[in-house]
Structure 1
């Protein structure tokens, strides 16, 4: 065979093989989620839709509230010393462990919730997911801030780890993805500053004001006064997981804070809360 022809064939076959390899490695990333769930009102996306666009990634700057003392009118829920403000979901002493200045969920420890209740409040907390990271998607550093055990702001390792957008870190679970992904790497301390306005019902039991949530994740606004369609936590029989949310029976404006145990050793520290009050 002519040497020039042999060289041409070799180059061609190499290019074809290379194209095939590139094509094989450029398959779209598989993101967990569901396409058989209800459409979220006002959108064209399903609940937990893997095809929904991922929020843009931003690098957070310095966070004013990280490690900062609580305001003078705040109730300190955890300062690194004890769990006296917390109980398990059965009303018994909280079983999470304290190490250094943080608390951490333990296997089969269950979620913990505050002994106190507040209406219309500002909540600050700091959290960190395991490093090195374990698992992927919803199995990677999963926990949550459950307001009254019903309205969830998701805690998850969403740093270079994708899942359905309405279930990533700082999402209002099953309803609103964050406006941007402001996550830090696993093992680094992150902050949530949550402003919650309680829902209200009239004397007839009719809903007259929906719950409203604002969330700052690492100092970045990621939820801006979003009205909730209803409760978000799938453990409640009124709203099975993956279905469209609705409000439960009327409850008082004063609500507790619950930290979810999702069998991932997520850490929390520097937690405080203050009611917003009213102007005279």
Structure 2
């Protein structure tokens, strides 16, 4: 009987989730699908698949992709005579795969795990309530022979971008399981799908193949198949980890429990050989709870680790108190005090066979909750736990404090600004503007910048309002970082460098706040270089894009507005620009594209006192 653990369960403590696909996959090297030619795929006998060096879509032409010479991009351009599906030469079971893809306007395709389970690819730009057929949906099953469609799993939100923009998928898949006789004993499962940084599917069990598979018969392995008979689509940067290795396990688990002789005994891990144990025995699993108390105890576990494959192994240790991990007598994770949740790691090379494991754990601080967790990853298997899941208990999750934009909504908060996955700064005078159409943005009052836009739900205000809070909120959906540079500059010539220094309030820049119209939407007002500015940003065509219209009364001579900045900007057609590797579009008539240091910039002259452009993503 383990009363402390039972009391914690009764108090509402929860089991911490395993790290799973979020780990670095130390023991399983990532492989890339070469796209210099089609040798990574099985021959199709059709000409719809090709290798290209560049690709783009026309927003006004359905199912058309234009390609450029070179390599690195896989493109499907079907026609009535060439519409073959494409299968990889390799087959997979458990798999983590990621790739970039681009949809043509109004195009449709599908990405089949094991050639049997379709993750939908579709131009879903502007769809507010996605279905199983929209991008990121797990397509329906087909009942045979009737043809009736059933099941299917719609994505949580539409995290898809506009056609012609590069999008990114991360998919983690678990293959069906079979016994020795070939009978299926467990369904396939989509562990997680992340589209453009937004988790849209989790722990979805697949009862059987979806419509259009290579076979209705399930199997332990199968190829990736990409639909080629529907519409134009392109892929690049296809990378995967395939898991076929056996997971290690602990056997011969034994433990000893110790009590301190004075208050300082367990400030660090003692020499247990000099202490008399107060209990012990054989265990079926590793858990701190064998101590039968929540404080002032020590536990030492010894066991044998079954090492199925020689290679590099990475161990992860988390605890509430002080712990260390030894493997074959080597201190792999060094002794340290910690609170539960954060894992410390260590690496070791192991031969196949058995390895000795010793886990030492002491706890003396009443205010720290007891916890002990050990995880491992290595050749051919996902990160897995070696301890009882209940040994890593976490307190009940904080109920999220969410702000929905059922009507036009304005919220003031701090906002962390990210670029390329890295936090650049915290915008302290940020205004978050949400619309019921599902397209939202952050405006930086410190420099008049449209810093970021996102599509989906509005705000997670938990960091701002829970407990003492830190004043910040977070977007809930597909976020596209624009630029947070000063909005205006006076340039002696169109080639003069743009300043990145925030304007000094009361000098060339004077913020005037904003007015709210009858619809609940703001008009931002400020003064730049003596000119009174009215800045109006509004959704257009539902949740497809934003229109920004800026009016400047008595603009200074040679005044310019920074429309966009990025590593690269390409003019695809007159007035339409793709920014930062085709991550979003800007439509701006009369803009000047220029090089500035290591980036490109799109600027608009303000000589007529009014400018207008669109941000599409």
Shared fold (TM-score, shorter chain, > 0.5): yes
Specify which of 233, 242, 245 is matched with residue 275 of structure 1.
242
Q: Counterpart in 1 of 2:517?
A: none
Specify which of 115, 120, 128 is matched with residue 94 of structure 2.
120
Change beyond 3 A, Cα 1:204–1:197: same
Specify which of 127, 139, 164 is matched with residue 173 of structure 1.
139
Please say if 1:258 is aligned against 2:260: no
Distance, in Å, in 2 between the alignment partners of 1:104 and 1:192 is: 17
Higher share in strand: 2
Please report how far the alpha carbon of residue 207 of structure 1 lies from its aligned counterpart in structure 2 after TM superposition. 2.0
Q: How does 1:69-148 map to 2 (within 5 A)?
A: 73-78=29-34, 80-88=35-43, 96-100=49-53, 101-107=72-78, 108-130=82-104, 133=105, 140-148=106-114
Distance, in Å, in 2 between the alignment partners of 1:165 and 1:204 is: 38
What are the Cα deviations for residues 255-280 of structure 1, in whole angstroms up to 9, with x where unaligned? 21011113311111111211245543
SS of match in other structure, 1:231: coil
Specify which of 131, 149, 160 is matched with residue 115 of structure 2.
149
Q: State whether residues 118 and 256 of structure 1, in contact with CA within 8 Å, keep that contact through their aligned partners in structure 2.
A: yes
Please report how far the alpha carbon of residue 109 of structure 1 lies from its aligned counterpart in structure 2 after TM superposition. 4.1
Distance, in Å, in 2 between the alignment partners of 1:94 and 1:75 is: 27
Change beyond 3 A, Cα 1:164–1:181: closer
Distance, in Å, in 2 between the alignment partners of 1:162 and 1:176 is: 16
Q: Counterpart in 2 of 1:20?
A: none
Change beyond 3 A, Cα 1:231–1:162: farther
Q: State whether residues 28 and 241 of structure 2, in contact with CA within 8 Å, keep that contact through their aligned partners in structure 1.
A: no
Cα RMSD between the aligned structures? 2.6
What are the Cα deviations for residues 18-76 of structure 1, in whole angstroms up to 9, with x where unaligned? xxxxxxxxxxxxxxxxxxxxxxxxxxxxxxxxxxxxxxxxxxxxxxxxxxxxx981221
Please report how far the alpha carbon of residue 178 of structure 1 lies from its aligned counterpart in structure 2 after TM superposition. 0.5
Q: Which has the larger radius of gyration?
A: 2
Distance, in Å, in 1 between the alignment partners of 2:76 and 2:218 is: 31
Q: State whether residues 127 and 190 of structure 1, in contact with CA within 8 Å, keep that contact through their aligned partners in structure 2.
A: yes
Distance, in Å, in 1 between the alignment partners of 2:246 and 2:193 is: 20
Q: Counterpart in 2 of 1:222?
A: 200
Please report how far the alpha carbon of residue 254 of structure 1 lies from its aligned counterpart in structure 2 after TM superposition. 2.1
Change beyond 3 A, Cα 1:273–1:173: same
Q: State whether residues 201 and 250 of structure 1, in contact with CA within 8 Å, keep that contact through their aligned partners in structure 2.
A: no
Distance, in Å, in 2 between the alignment partners of 1:275 and 1:235 is: 20
Please say if 1:211 is aligned against 2:188: yes
Distance, in Å, in 2 between the alignment partners of 1:86 and 1:93 is: 13
Q: State whether residues 208 and 218 of structure 2, in contact with CA within 8 Å, keep that contact through their aligned partners in structure 1.
A: no
User: Which shifted more, 226-235 or 214-223?
Assistant: 226-235
Q: State whether residues 86 and 115 of structure 1, in contact with CA within 8 Å, keep that contact through their aligned partners in structure 2.
A: yes
Q: State whether residues 130 and 157 of structure 2, in contact with CA within 8 Å, keep that contact through their aligned partners in structure 1.
A: no
Q: Which has the higher contact order (CA 8 A, sep 6+)?
A: 1
TM-score (norm 2): 0.29
Distance, in Å, in 2 between the alignment partners of 1:215 and 1:111 is: 22
Distance, in Å, in 2 between the alignment partners of 1:149 and 1:88 is: 15
Specify which of 158, 161, 168 is matched with residue 184 of structure 1.
161
Distance, in Å, in 2 between the alignment partners of 1:228 and 1:94 is: 33
SS of match in other structure, 1:87: coil
Distance, in Å, in 2 between the alignment partners of 1:279 and 1:207 is: 20
Q: State whether residues 92 and 114 of structure 2, in contact with CA within 8 Å, keep that contact through their aligned partners in structure 1.
A: no
* Structure 1 portions without partners, runs of 5+: 1-70, 134-139, 239-247
Runs of 4 or more above 3 Å deviation: 92-95, 161-164, 276-279
Q: How does 1:29-44 map to 2 (within 5 A)?
A: none
